[in-house]
Amino acid sequence: MARPVPIALAATACAVLVLSAGCGTTHENAGQAPNAGTNTKCKGPNGHYVIGMSQANVAEPYRQRMNDDIRNAAASVPQFEVKFADAAQDNAKQVSDVENYLTQQIDLLIISPNESTPLTGVVKKAYDKGIPVVVLDRKVDGDAYTTFIGADNTDIGRQAGTFIAQKLLPNGGKVVELKGLPGSTPAQERDAGFQQAIAGKNIQVVATGVGDWLRDKGQQQMDAILKAQPQIDVVYSENDPMAEGAYLAAKSVGRENSIRFTGIDGLPIPSGGIKAVEDGRLTATFVYPTGGKEAVEAAKKLLIDCQQVPKKQTLPTQLVTKDNAEAVYRAANGG
Amino acid sequence: MTQRETIQRESDGAAAPPAERRLDVVSVLFRFQSMLGLVAVFIAAVLFSPHRGAQILFLTSENLFNVVRAVAEIGIIAVGMTFVILIGGIDLSVGAVLGLAAVGSAVLMVENGMGVVPTVLLVLLIGLVFGLLQGIASARFGIQSFIVTLAGLQVARGLARIWSGGQGVAIAYGDGPGEAPVAFSLLGERTFNGLVPIPALIFVVVAAAAIAFLRVSVFARHLYAVGGNQKAARLSGVPVNRVKIAVFGISGALAALAGIVHAGQLNQGSPNDGAGYELDAIAAVVIGGTSLAGGRGSVVGTVAGALLLGVLNNVLALNNIDANIQLLIKGLVIVAAAGLQRLRPAL
């Protein structure tokens, strides 16, 4: 889950600002647009709707899967035509992508922002034109959007910690933590939740490695940690690829059977975490849902049923172990 | 024809040999090669544009200004890149300098409480000095500019990461502490009835200034002389090293200007911004008919090249061509433009 640098700072700065003036520029705040927030796009079941999906970076498997989930869910809604744009991790490109959608006069925008602050202005522009906006995974500043759908990283970290504390190490033990890209929100939140869950449970974090979400970095970090730590019971990795890297490192020194590995993300793809659990390399992973299916459901409610949707939808995670891995994989792929 | 006139003609992108001024079709075609490409892509864009009723979406004024806004940053960088390429050099550091300048703009205003004018001047100075240092390393120590600016790219990225603390610095506007002056937000706005984006205006001004500069200044004559034949230039008294150093200074300063625009448009300075922009800028210069070997080319061509890329991006997006296919098409267009250059009649 290599997400680009997120913005604790932005969030803080804007939280302060939202109280007074909102986070847009003066121009944007100058006048309330007539259509702001009102859904004028609903034409019922007989309409034809063009949905624009603006993706931050399809080079990340998680985001490719998000697009696939949207494509598959929309395939069963004959009224929907979905278009996809890829910003290739460039904020400026994503702004242009959304502007191009506005030129095409789309009926609904789904966006998974590369970063929050740079995309806030153009998302507000769409929203002010009366286009419903579904924001996925990463928020924009302020509240100029229709609905936000995402999972709770702190909660996922907490559940992983609870699983390790209760199921894997009920009598306590030694844990290695592998963290994602420093400064990124998911890295901070998955750590915070984990720390909360293991506090006072006689679990000792003997080493922490920073793997930047990457398999090869996770492997390198684990190589070094294995040399320094004669006893490791569990590796808690903030995502699946780093957990897989750590597994490879342990295997190369013949210690893979004495250590258990847990990951997060659980992508239902052949190279994803669910398969790794099924194949026994990881003991468990926690699904970080893409929200693609839920975004299409929200679009259906807004455009076809003319209903309201909640401003925020938090998606639950799911624990994947050897017992349910096959079933979860099949269910996620429509089987 | 005098030496001066020859050079002026070259700065127009002229290909016709001065001795025989036959305005045969071929040389005229090649003289306006970059413009022709732009016109061709523009016509294709109109033809392939999606419609909404009778309205051609590509031709809506808002869309056309979106195109210019979208290419403004690359265009500003590409103008500086044209100077560097005209002397036969290359500047790979511009994308990273853009990131450094964006971070600098954000940090100086938000964290150091500086005003807009001092911030802009200081950031431009940083870009200028960064470029000059690369020019000195390249000219005085005879290291190829490819290597010097490749190293410069790493250094600028590193500085941007350190300065920003590794993450994007959000720019919030207001009068309080931790807020940037509201005037800076102008960069993200549109003027003339909310139609013309400010970054597009800045691009136009920069391009016009560069075109005028290349027509009238002594420096321009030296520039084309160094790019055409360095040894001959040196022998005829052109201060070759000074010219070399200066072009990198210009390129660095313009990259910094693009970074300021970038920060203003996105309300953020992020150390990762501008990654790969140097390649887009080089593409714009090459499509515009400037020779990578130096000595031949023009800013007019570069502007046309940047707009060509922008129109191409725009119409591909409006038609929702798959992102991966878009890459293929863009690659082919760049190769085609470079191929046209080879076909060009020799001077």
How many CB pairs below 8 A link A and B?
122
- Between CA A282 and CA A297 the distance in angstroms is 32
Q: Are strands B169-170 and B55-56 parallel, antiparallel or unpaired?
A: unpaired
**Cβ separation B268–A97 shorter than 8 A:** no
Q: Does residue B169 sit at the A interface (CB-CB below 8 Å)?
A: yes
A145 and A12, same structural domain? yes
A140 and A17, same structural domain? yes
Cβ pair B300, B289 in contact under 8 A: no
Q: What are phi and psi of B114, to 5 degrees?
A: -80, 155
Nearest Cα to Cα of residue A63 among A213, A179, A182, A193 = A213
Cβ pair A28, A124 in contact under 8 A: yes
CATH 1.10.3470 for the B33-43+60-343 domain, yes or no? yes
Q: Are strands A260-265 and A234-237 parallel, antiparallel or unpaired?
A: parallel
Closest Cα of chain A to B264: distance in Å? 10
The structural domain count of chain A equals 2
A328 and A183, same structural domain? yes
Q: Are strands A108-112 and A133-136 parallel, antiparallel or unpaired?
A: parallel
| Residue A137 confidence (pLDDT) above 70 | yes
User: Which residues on chain A are in Cβ contact (under 8 Å) with B275?
Assistant: 89-90
Nearest CA in chain A to B270: A5
First to last CA, chain B: 15
Q: What average pLDDT score do residues A220-245 get? A: 95
Q: 10 Å Cβ neighbour count for A136?
A: 27
Report DSSP letters for A163-195, one per residue.
HIIIII-TT-EEEEEEE-STT-HHHHHHHHHHH
Nearest CA in chain A to B50: A104
Q: Which of A27, A88, A100 sits opposite B314 (nearest CB)?
A: A100
Q: Are strands B196-197 and A319-321 parallel, antiparallel or unpaired?
A: unpaired
Q: Does residue B200 sit at the A interface (CB-CB below 8 Å)?
A: no
Nearest CA in chain B to A15: B172
**Identity at A203, one-letter amino acid code:** I
Q: Are strands B169-170 and B268-269 parallel, antiparallel or unpaired?
A: antiparallel
ipTM of the complex: 0.80
User: Looking at the domain assignment, is residue A66 inside a domain?
Assistant: yes
pLDDT digits (tens, 9 = 90+) for A33-65: 445 555 678 888 889 999 999 999 888 889 999
Residues 6+ away with beta carbon under 8 Å from A330: none
A86 and A183, same structural domain? no
User: Which residues on chain A are in Cβ contact (under 8 Å) with B271?
Assistant: 5
Nearest Cα to Cα of residue B108 among B163, B188, B162 = B163
Per-residue confidence at A131, pLDDT binned at 50, 70, 90? very high
Closest Cα of chain B to A309: distance in Å? 28
Cβ pair B164, B270 in contact under 8 A: yes
Cβ pair B13, B301 in contact under 8 A: yes
Q: Which of A10, A26, A83 sits opposite B320 (nearest CB)?
A: A83
Cβ pair B184, B175 in contact under 8 A: no
pLDDT digits (tens, 9 = 90+) for B130-152: 999 999 999 999 899 999 999 99
**Cβ separation A100–B174 shorter than 8 A:** no
How wide is the angle at C-alpha A195 spanned by C-alphas A194 and A196, nearest 5°? 90
Domain range summary for chain B, segments of one domain joined by +: 33-43+60-343
User: Looking at the domain assignment, is residue A68 inside a domain?
Assistant: yes
Q: Which of B66, B172, B182 sits opposite A96 (nearest CB)?
A: B66
Per-residue confidence at A170, pLDDT binned at 50, 70, 90? very high
A16 and A141, same structural domain? yes
User: Looking at the domain assignment, is residue A20 inside a domain?
Assistant: yes
**Identity at B324, one-letter amino acid code:** N
Q: Which of A21, A103, A121 sits opposite B62 (nearest CB)?
A: A103
Q: Does residue B2 sit at the A interface (CB-CB below 8 Å)?
A: no
Q: Does residue B62 sit at the A interface (CB-CB below 8 Å)?
A: yes
**Cβ separation B188–A117 shorter than 8 A:** no
- Between CA B235 and CA B226 the distance in angstroms is 11
Q: Which of B178, B185, B268 sits opposite A117 (nearest CB)?
A: B268
pLDDT digits (tens, 9 = 90+) for A83-129: 999 998 899 999 999 999 999 999 999 999 988 889 999 999 999 99
Residue in this structure with the two tokens 């806004």, named with its chain if needed: B69
**Cβ separation A85–B323 shorter than 8 A:** yes
The CATH number covering residue A115 comes to 3.40.50.2300
Q: Does residue B173 sit at the A interface (CB-CB below 8 Å)?
A: yes
State the sign of the Cα–Cα–Cα–Cα dihedral B261, B266, B270, B275. Answer: negative
User: Looking at the domain assignment, is residue A230 inside a domain?
Assistant: yes
**Cβ separation A86–B267 shorter than 8 A:** no
Cβ pair A167, A193 in contact under 8 A: no
A137 and A162, same structural domain? no
* Secondary structure class of B4 (helix, strand, coil): helix
Strand partners, A92: none
pLDDT digits (tens, 9 = 90+) for A227-238: 999 999 999 999
Q: Which of A6, A10, A96 sits opposite B70 (nearest CB)?
A: A96
A117 and A53, same structural domain? yes
Q: Which of A16, A25, A183 sits opposite B185 (nearest CB)?
A: A25
**Cβ separation B178–A16 shorter than 8 A:** yes
Which of B167, B261, B318 to mutate to probe the A interface, most A CBs <10 Å?
A: B167
pLDDT digits (tens, 9 = 90+) for A279-328: 999 999 999 999 999 999 999 999 999 999 999 999 999 999 999 999 99
User: Which residues on chain B are in Cβ contact (under 8 Å) with A9?
Assistant: 167-170
A123 and A264, same structural domain? no
Query: Which tokens sit at A216?
Result: 């090869």
Domain that holds residue A31: 8-150+290-316
Block mean pLDDT (10 aa), chain B, length 347: 42 46 62 77 91 88 92 97 96 97 96 94 98 95 94 96 87 88 88 87 96 92 91 91 95 98 93 91 91 90 93 91 89 80 59
- Between CA A323 and CA B155 the distance in angstroms is 50
User: Looking at the domain assignment, is residue A3 inside a domain?
Assistant: no
Q: What is the mean pLDDT of chain B?
A: 87
pLDDT digits (tens, 9 = 90+) for B156-204: 999 999 999 877 899 999 888 889 999 998 898 888 878 899 999 999 9
Q: Does residue B328 sit at the A interface (CB-CB below 8 Å)?
A: no
A79 and A172, same structural domain? no
Per-residue confidence at A18, pLDDT binned at 50, 70, 90? very low
Q: Does residue B182 sit at the A interface (CB-CB below 8 Å)?
A: yes
**Cβ separation A100–B270 shorter than 8 A:** no
Q: Which of B166, B171, B314 sits opposite A183 (nearest CB)?
A: B166
Q: 10 Å Cβ neighbour count for B321?
A: 15
- Between CA B80 and CA B250 the distance in angstroms is 6
A164 and A279, same structural domain? yes
Closest Cα of chain B to A117: distance in Å? 7
- Between CA B224 and CA B18 the distance in angstroms is 16
**Cβ separation A105–B52 shorter than 8 A:** yes
**Cβ separation A7–B174 shorter than 8 A:** no
Predicted local distance difference test score (pLDDT) of residue A15: 39
Burial class (CB in 10 A: 0-12, 13-18, 19+), B254: buried
User: Looking at the domain assignment, is residue A2 inside a domain?
Assistant: no
Closest Cα of chain B to A230: distance in Å? 34
**Cβ separation B167–A6 shorter than 8 A:** yes
Query: Which tokens sit at A4?
Result: 């680009």
